[in-house]
Amino acid sequence: MNNTWSDRLIEETRDVLDLGFVPRDDFVHMKNINGNWGKKGGNFGKIGLQNWLDRKLIIQDKETDAEYFYATVDELIAAGWAVD
């Protein structure tokens, strides 16, 4: 099964990652449609403010602190991530 977010959320994610908004704190909060729901890690992540400003697509898992690196926004979206 190929899970995907709505077209609207994908466009919102592209806009946010293109610096199209002001974060409410020091992070851009993310969620993953393919996360390990009910298990440890993989559901929610965050991009640090400086990484976001530098356009570095590094998502840190909020529960495990694992980091996921993406070369492009398309790659990040294909991996199931969207803004939360």
pLDDT tens readout for residues 26-82: 999 999 998 766 666 678 999 999 999 999 999 999 988 999 999 999 999 999 999
Global pTM value: 0.86
Q: Give the pLDDT band (50/70/90) at residue 3.
A: confident
Name residue 7's beta-bridge partners.
none
Distance CA 39, CA 50 (A): 29
User: According to the model, what pLDDT value does residue 2 have?
Assistant: 60
Q: Give the pLDDT band (50/70/90) at residue 1.
A: very low
Q: Indicate the residue type of 18.
A: D
